[in-house]
Amino acid sequence: MANTVTSRSRSRWFLLRAGALVMVAVIAVALTWSAIGGIASHTGTTTVSTNHFTSPTASKSSATNDALFLSDVTEIDPVLMTYEKKFGDVALRSLLTDGSAFCAFLNRDKDLDTAMVSVAVGARHVESQSHLPMTVPTFNAIDSVALLTLCPSLESVVPSSDLTKIRELGTALAVPSN
């Protein structure tokens, strides 16, 4: 009987902590998305710029990084290739926005898991407009390729075991590593 109570209390404790973590992530994403929405409505655009993650002196480099990101993300996840073909510009903007958002969250929080959850929660919030496939491989593809092409300077905050796998992906895609 004592083991059952201990097991139940552990389960409840775990569920409470997981629920609290999800709530914190949802609130953080909601605040971030409302801030991005406020900026977007003020400037008249909904695109998140990736320029501050790359060299500020080279917008050509940023456009090259964006093109490389889109090419690689659709290459490693066939679902995203189908998505891009079906939804065109909406898909391309969605993928670039999610990749850029991942970099922004990773830069802000310096935590890979938090950045990944934040992107997924934010994407879920706008999925009815973007039609992004809501799968784990899709988000893993977006986040991994974003780290390789849009914000490689943030690789230092990624745990070494994850970074090794991401760099192997970069080698397979022929993405230069920092």
pLDDT (tens digit per residue) in 38-85:
333 333 333 333 333 333 334 456 788 888 889 899 988 999 999 999
Residue 30 falls inside a structural domain: no
**Residues of the domain holding 95:** 49-173
Residue 161 falls inside a structural domain: yes
Is residue 26 scored above 80 in pLDDT?
Answer: no
DSSP 158: S
Residue 34 falls inside a structural domain: no
Cα–Cα distance, 89 to 73 (Å, whole number)? 15
Q: Which pair of structure tokens corresponds to residue 89?
A: 């510009």
Residue 33 falls inside a structural domain: no
Residue 36 falls inside a structural domain: no
Residue 115 falls inside a structural domain: yes
Q: Which pair of structure tokens corresponds to residue 81?
A: 């290739």
Looking at per-residue pLDDT, the higher value among 102 and 127 belongs to: 102
Number of domains in the chain: 1
Q: What is the pTM of this model?
A: 0.63
Residue 42 falls inside a structural domain: no
